[in-house]
Amino acid sequence: MIEIHFDGLCEPNPGGVATYGFVIRREGRKIHEGHGLACPPKTPQCTNNVAEYTGLIKALEYVAGAKPAESVVARGDSELVVRQLLGEYKVKSPLLAPLYRRVCELVSRLPSIRFELVPREENREADALTNLARAEYAGRSMRAPTTDVMTVDLVIAAPCEAVAAALRQRGIKAVVTAVPGGARVQCDVPAREYALGPVLEVKARLEGTA
């Protein structure tokens, strides 16, 4: 059996930087993984759901290209994406419709496949690759800065109090506000490569992906 774990995020959502990650295993052994930008950054196309679909599509393109004989299971923690693929939710968004059709086209090239919704803690490897893509983008964007400071704006899926305390412990000055599902963090960091690392480390630790 071939197992796919896929993930995606957009920070801030929507209209921020959308990234994806995926891991593919055959009989428990990793055979491929990938991560990257889901679409041009800071455009209307950038949403969490677009990123999730893109992660799955990239994984399915690899698997379908290998023309496997065995069955495939694809696991993700996005309720909307997985339930759309299971036929439980309708695909109404004009952004998602072509991505949904692309998944269906790739699925038609496989002998069999099933989709499973899993808790986030069971999707940590794909989630880590998604965050890696975000960190890599931040590093590239800082190689030729136009100012000495870069503004960071992201969401951490943890209570405001815990986020603020963790940032203070790392010496990071930030504005932390409550948003649905977590806390929005806005801060300025030096415009140099890897400067975003401490913030992403706090995010990964609080969200249990470190």
What is the structure's pLDDT at 6? 98
Instruction: Answer for the pair 133, 20: CB distance below 8 angstroms, yes or no.
Output: yes
Q: What architecture is the 144-206 domain classified under in CATH?
A: 2-Layer Sandwich (3.30)
3-class SS at 121? helix
Interatomic CA distance for residues 96 and 50, integer angstroms: 6
Instruction: Answer for the pair 26, 2: CB distance below 8 angstroms, yes or no.
Output: yes
| Mean pLDDT of the region 148-177 | 86
Residue 169 has a CB neighbour count (10 Å cut-off) of 9
Interatomic CA distance for residues 127 and 19, integer angstroms: 10
How would you classify the pairing of strands 175-179 and 113-117? unpaired
What is the structure's pLDDT at 69? 93
With tokens 């339930």, the residue in question is: 83
| Percent of the chain residues past pLDDT 70, beyond the cut | 92
Tell me where in the chain the CATH 3.30.70 domain(s) lie. Answer: 144-206
HSE-CB at 67 with a 13 A cutoff on CA atoms is 0
What is the Cα gyration radius of the chain?
18
| Mean pLDDT of the region 165-193 | 83
What is the structure's pLDDT at 141? 47
Q: Is 140 exposed, middle or buried (0-12, 13-18, 19+ CB in 10 A)?
A: exposed
pLDDT at 164 over 50: yes
Q: What architecture is the 2-125 domain classified under in CATH?
A: 2-Layer Sandwich (3.30)
Tell me where in the chain the CATH 3.30.420.10 domain(s) lie. Answer: 2-125
Q: Using one digit for the tens of pLDDT, what is the confidence trace for 96-152?
A: 999 999 999 999 999 999 999 999 999 999 999 998 999 888 876 444 444 456 677
| Mean pLDDT of the region 27-49 | 94
Give the predicted TM-score (pTM) of the model: 0.68
Instruction: Answer for the pair 2, 24: CB distance below 8 angstroms, yes or no.
Output: yes
DSSP codes joined into one string, 73-91? EEEES-HHHHHHHTTSS--
Residue 135 has a CB neighbour count (10 Å cut-off) of 17
Backbone angles phi, psi at 141, to 5 degrees: -70, -15
HSE-CB at 79 with a 13 A cutoff on CA atoms is 1
